[in-house]
Structure 1
Amino acid sequence: MSHWPEFFVHWTASLGLNYGFLLDAYQRGTLAHGALTTLWLCLLTIIGSLLTGVGLAALLTSGKPALAVPARVFIEVTRNTPTLVQLYCAFLVLNMLLNQAVGTANPLTPFAWVVIVISLHKGAFHAEALRAGIEAVPNVTLEAARSLAFSRRQLLWNVQLPLALRFALPSLINNLIDLVKMTAVASAIAVGDITYSAIMIWTQSDNVLELMILLLGFYGLLSFIVNCVGRYLEARLRMPGYGH
């Protein structure tokens, strides 16, 4: 075993903090597994929410009430109800109904429900940001594309969405930072993320403060990474003539 856990434990002990659980291989492994699970949750929900957002934005701007109205209803319901309540409704109600229908063949694990619920929830926020971006595309650009005989679908996928992504990028990054923090709700249905792992450790020892500091640092670091990537993309994809 590397000596870094011992060094860290002794150093923090001088500050009055008890990180002795890091010297226990099982508890250290539990925390590492929880951190990896959280990273997977972040990755999958980021992808899922962006795909959901693009799909909903396409429906909202389709110009067809039969598509736009259901999308608008879904967005309003999703945005105006708590994520944790949505997760409980999905896992305790929909999952129970699915179990009754298919029994042990139910392919949706608690982890999968978290990915689905958070992806749909943040996808609704992404959709509004993308809708605003789509509507911000200059008319002269759209007229130029129409003069090239672009169909409505080609106009959306080849002109409006690429530009809308650039216009909406600051809002999207803000939503993704919130998404990273939102993955902590996974612990509510016993998904073994880093929050749940920390809870399991502090129920066996008196180190709540130390684990809370660890959780704050972990989520703060993830959010900072997303923010840095977002800043890089904003600078790289900045539209000439817009902004600075």
Structure 2
Amino acid sequence: MSLKLDFSILAKPDVTAQILNGVVTMLELTALAWLLAMAVGTLLATLRMSGNRWAEGFVAAYVEVHQNVPMLVQIFLWYFGVPALLPPGVQHWVNAHHSEFLFAFIAVGLCMGAYMSEDLRGGIRSIPKSQLEASRALGLSYLQATRLVVLPQAIRIALPTLVNHTVLLFKNTSLAMAIGVAEMTYAAREIESQSFRTVEIYLLATAVYLGISLLIMTGGSMLEARFRLKTR
């Protein structure tokens, strides 16, 4: 018995609208989670290289927790657990403003921030300490020297692993469907349950994820070539 594929289902206006809305939501979730992850990662990497043992201990614990607890569990914790700790008024406001999307991007961003902090820490450690010492000798504070001298170089060095973790972050946004975020995977499941065109729908979802992942990796390769540090 041969399988006949029929992609005509994708041409229906309501199906097309669901797919486009799913892609837009997926990209919004990716962008917000990435911004949060980079901000958290930069802060954690800076604290861990500060020389303060309390700060280093806190960051080490943060990284261990977020790297060893499944992201889906972290999403569930934020969506089902955190609201119970909030005042009733805040709970009502959050629920009225797409709480599932809000908690999904926070959970994904905080989790991936742990990975990106390690990427940046590796970049910082590869920079000679003499550069930081020279910056301090010129009158810059530790934070100023880190922001103006160390971090710009560390980011360029860490670009390959940062790009890899950006792709991982993008793919992990699909886990948000578990709490009802209507991103691409959620839309694909809804369309499949209505049309029973399983192969066609998930082939489309596969193509979308693959295409965007390849775009991220291509863009990352271009950035690496553009900003690669020159070595003698």
Q: Which amino acid aligns with 1:193?
A: E
Is 1:19 aligned to 2:7, yes or no?
A: yes
Match of 2:129 in 1: 139
Q: How far did residue 27 of structure 1 move?
A: 1.7
Match of 2:212 in 1: 222
Q: TM-score normalised to the size of structure 2?
A: 0.92
Q: Distance in 2 between matches of 1:224 and 1:89?
A: 31
Pick 1 or 2: higher relative contact order, CA cutoff 8 A, min separation 6: 2
Is 1:119 aligned to 2:143, yes or no?
A: no
Is 1:43 aligned to 2:31, yes or no?
A: yes
Distance 1:71 1:23, change over 3 A: same
Q: Which amino acid aligns with 2:148?
A: N
| Post-superposition CA distance 1:160-186 (Å, at most 9, x none) | 111110111111001001111111011
Q: How far did residue 75 of structure 1 move?
A: 1.1
Q: How far did residue 147 of structure 1 move?
A: 3.0
| Secondary structure in 2 matching 1:105 | helix
Match of 1:68 in 2: 56
Match of 2:47 in 1: 59
Match of 1:195 in 2: 185
Distance 1:108 1:213, change over 3 A: closer
| Secondary structure in 1 matching 2:86 | helix
State the aligned residue count: 228
Match of 1:183 in 2: 173
Q: How far did residue 73 of structure 1 move?
A: 0.8
Given candidates 138, 159, 162, the residue that maps to 1:148 is: 138
Which moved further from structure 2: 47-56 or 19-28? 19-28
Which moved further from structure 2: 62-71 or 80-89? 62-71
Kindly indicate whether the alpha-carbon contact (under 8 Å) linking 2:132 and 2:146 is maintained by their aligned counterparts in 1: no
| Structure 1 segment 156-167 matched on structure 2, within 5 A | 156-167=146-157
Q: Percent identity?
A: 33
Q: Which amino acid aligns with 1:46?
A: W
Q: How far did residue 105 of structure 1 move?
A: 2.5
Q: Distance in 2 between matches of 1:78 and 1:112?
A: 18
| Secondary structure in 2 matching 1:203 | helix
RMSD: 1.7
Q: How far did residue 130 of structure 1 move?
A: 0.5
Kindly indicate whether the alpha-carbon contact (under 8 Å) linking 2:10 and 2:16 is maintained by their aligned counterparts in 1: yes
Q: Distance in 1 between matches of 2:46 and 2:227?
A: 21
| Post-superposition CA distance 1:165-210 (Å, at most 9, x none) | 0111111001001111111011111111011011111111221111
Moved over 4 A (4+): none
Note the residue ranges of structure 1 that are not aligned, 5 or more in a row.
Answer: 1-14
Q: TM-score normalised to the size of structure 1?
A: 0.88
Given candidates 196, 199, 202, the residue that maps to 1:209 is: 199
| Structure 1 segment 225-244 matched on structure 2, within 5 A | 225-241=215-231
| Secondary structure in 1 matching 2:69 | coil
Q: Distance in 2 between matches of 1:174 and 1:221?
A: 15
Given candidates 9, 20, 43, the residue that maps to 1:32 is: 20
Is 1:96 aligned to 2:96, yes or no?
A: no
Q: Which amino acid aligns with 2:110?
A: L
Which moved further from structure 2: 182-191 or 95-104? 95-104
